[in-house]
Amino acid sequence: MRRKAYADLLKWKNSKYRKPLLLQGARQVGKTYLVKQFGKQEYSRIVYLNFEQSAEIRALFSGNLIPKTLIENIGVFLGKKIEAKETLLFFDEIQASEDALTSLKYFYEQAPQFHIIAAGSLLGVSVARERSFPVGKVNFLQLYPMSFLEYIDAFGGEFLIEKLNETDSIEALPKILHDKLQRELKQFLFLGGMPEVLNRYRNNGDIAEVRRVQNELLRAYERDFAKYTDKSQAIKTSELWDSIPYQLAKENKKFKYSNVRIKARATHYEQTIEWLKNAGLINIVKQISIPKLPLSGYADASKFKLYLLDTGLLGAMLNISSDIILKPNALYVEYNGAFIENFVASELANTGINELYYWTSRGEAEVDFIIRHNDNIYPVEVKSGTSKNLKSLRSYENKYKPLYIFRTSPRNLVKDNEFINIPLYAISKLKEIMALAEDLKS
């Protein structure tokens, strides 16, 4: 299955400013598969070292971290000479060895001719914990679950992708294409974007197998909570993680500590939220009351929403049955539109918009996402139905006079003066549509 991150890896390989690359992302989002495929197709050789599986490999990095010595020792261990030219060194599950993580700075400083990619299911947690980790010595790339368009491509929808990519104006898609993408989106909301889930479904079409794999992934995350934190922290992590689907199912999706544990306060769970974020398991959307640049400067750290990395896993945690796919709009409206907002947050993060914000005005109006494009700030409202009600968007528009107001919903692409509706299946095209809209103003 093709990933758009492959193009990012190519840019990294060909950059004259290349440094060792840290590929971050949650467990089972496809990091190992992607890097191995990249190594096979773009290099003559790939040297694969898994630090979690082999104590012998960890031992190679337990003493001298001089790159020349490390390369010689790796060569002895593998029984072959390691040449820099056209060789990719792949350090997998590198979070299992802090020495290996530290060695990357020496490779950058003393042996930049070697192409190194390091990955790990909890690499983000390890980097955050490693105080001596040098800033500026590595490149970073985040891998997410597969996006809706990657899913379409994997299931033979190249034609649909081409039609979406051909868009050079803000016009509705032909109804037959719009309806097809709508049907595919409903299925994707249930399946989610975890590569193993999609691969199993593509091979056998067994929806029961999909749920079984999703539950296995959830159990693997729970094991990580216990393996990589102490017992007390593991309990808090499980409590908070388990509460997220039910917090999203409420009409007011703002995260409340008291919904995790009665009388709980921020001090109990702030570290837990940071751990889940660094592990790539959640997306945080922070509240702002005034949309000014930089948005981070106007965010209220005490008010936020938490979304899971994947709608399929959200459905598994809520035990949503598969027959919901056959119902016209059930997944859109189920649990107060939780699936749709979660989907949009995941798609936006996947496009590189990883600092997410929402706006509220004294409880009178709320806009689900506030997005910066160039030096403009835009409101983006998420609607699970086809209602044309724009109360919150109009409230925002009256206060702040943005160039455009955006909504994403099951409706087709439409532009009506300063209002633009983007189909939910095309929300990953948000930046491109914003750029087109801005060109119309210039």
Q: Does residue 372 surpass a pLDDT of 60? A: yes
Task: Give the pLDDT band (50/70/90) at residue 303.
Answer: very high
Task: Give the pLDDT band (50/70/90) at residue 128.
Answer: low
Distance separating alpha carbons of residues 346 and 354, to the nearest angstrom: 9
| Residue-wise pLDDT tens digits, 324-363 | 766 657 667 667 788 899 999 999 999 999 899 999 987 7
Whether domain 5-142 has CATH 3.40.50.720: the reply is no
Question: Which position has the higher pLDDT, 132 or 410?
Answer: 410
Strand blocks (E) in 238-334: 282-288, 299-308
Give the H or E element holding residue 73: helix 67-78
Is residue 85 packed enough to be buried (19+ CB in 10 Å), middle (13-18) or exposed (0-12)?
exposed
Residues forming beta bridges with residue 381, ordered by sequence position:
407
* Per-domain residue ranges of the chain: 5-142, 148-441
| Residue-wise pLDDT tens digits, 241-291 | 999 999 998 888 999 999 999 988 898 999 999 999 999 999 999 999 899
Q: What's the mean pLDDT in 182-205?
A: 94
Is residue 441 packed enough to be buried (19+ CB in 10 Å), middle (13-18) or exposed (0-12)?
exposed
Predicted pLDDT of residue 126: 73
DSSP-derived 3-state class of residue 421: strand
Q: Which tokens in the block code for residue 85?
A: 């030219």
Sign of CA dihedral 63, 67, 71, 72: negative
Predicted pLDDT of residue 124: 79
Q: Which tokens in the block code for residue 84?
A: 């820099």
Q: Does residue 81 surpass a pLDDT of 80? A: yes
| Residue-wise pLDDT tens digits, 146-167 | 999 999 999 998 888 888 887 6
Predicted pLDDT of residue 384: 83
pTM score over 0.85: yes
* Average pLDDT taken over every residue of the chain: 92
Predicted pLDDT of residue 200: 95
Predicted pLDDT of residue 387: 75
**Nearest-10 Cα torsion for 388, 394, 396, 400:** 140
Extract long-range pairs of 291-298: CB within 8 Å, 24+ residues apart. Answer: 291/359, 291/370, 291/377, 291/379, 291/396, 291/400, 292/377, 293/372, 293/375, 293/377, 295/355, 295/357, 295/370, 295/372, 295/377, 296/355
Q: Which tokens in the block code for residue 403?
A: 């160039």
Give the H or E element holding residue 440: helix 430-441
Task: Give the pLDDT band (50/70/90) at residue 210.
Answer: very high
CB atoms near residue 225 (< 10 Å): 22
| Residue-wise pLDDT tens digits, 373-424 | 999 999 999 998 777 778 999 999 999 999 999 999 999 999 999 999 999 9
- Short-list 87, 91, 94, CA closest to 40: 87
Predicted pLDDT of residue 373: 95
Q: Which tokens in the block code for residue 176?
A: 């037959």
Q: Does residue 131 surpass a pLDDT of 60? A: no
